[in-house]
Chains A and B, each alone.
Chain A
């Protein structure tokens, strides 16, 4: 008989025991599934605009300004370098252009004058990245849901440097 008078399946295994095992297995499967969804970016654990994992992504061109750095910093950034967010380690984008211009600082004199003075031996480095992302209702987001905000500072690392540049421009280069 399928279940005996003692509630055992085929007279061997208690139905309650079987149900407990099924619940545990269902919980594990559910956790793996949910973890996969979070990992792929389809679901965020925070309340922000979402780039769903099945969205087609555009190529964003993001210009970042590293302020008042020395030449050794610029020399350590190369086209093709991958850039990551320092706090999460998430991939941000790839460097496509590195240029520099003299660093400048506003100074004021005792006589009430002010001037935009060049900072000697320092430069601003303009680093342009290509980033897979999208503009959503909540703003620009990368494919793994890093929020890109004009004027914000972002701690980044590359294979050689760490820095906190300011996002100076975000534009869509190619649309999918």
Chain B
């Protein structure tokens, strides 16, 4: 769908289209009745959102307020009704608790979760409650949960071994608790703001959750590797690599594979969507991708400056699957593996001028 065009609509147009679309789109699944009623309310009101901060560093909130269309002000004032968010809300202490309780009682809200859930008692508390108690209470009555960032996806960085606070992601928490609320995962460290906005727009406009992969990630954002879409790909194919930072090759925009780029194993639309209002992105600034969109990336894709070792020869062992889940498009990995192997083993670096 054309997310961009949806975002340029005014809120009124937007909701008109959203409710109209709902009328003839035959969406299915257990979500339908809940969403229908949420949308019906949304036509009169802004979509209520409860935004929970757990074991995170608030980087995803920071990421989201760098977005451009819509602007942060439009998100807060025109599109959503952010009824609870500790980073921006005016209310404190018991008034804040009251806001949360009221919003849960009113229902019809989307719950955004930022940060993983510490499952050890006392390791994460808000208003005297453990974070796991809050997640259960708010999560089970939500229309849907949008889990933003690596931490709410699978615990993220603080869940790295040995995971001292026993932090887990929302999906796993819901599985343990038998909570049926659908979860949309938008991993990344931080989350790409356009993935969040595009997903929410998709839900509001089309009345259904975008198609998800088996990890609960929208395929429209996590379906292709960075390597497949990389503007430096042509240099890779020609065997033109950066061998050192600050070099002539870097200035010519050669491929960063040898500097450790995790683009071949990272499924994300970064090359197309970019960051900070489509201003730049990691590879655009001369840095190899560190694979922050991938499950357990800090354990599975480090060291970040070492080249992917397990993608070696065309006929060799393509063991990228060690990162397991997330490799749904295995053929893509094999193709990438072949190509990398060919270039690295057989290709020679050519000093060619950048076009």
Whether chain B is bound by chain A comes out as: no
Question: Which chain A residues have a beta carbon within 8 Å of chain B's beta carbons?
Answer: none
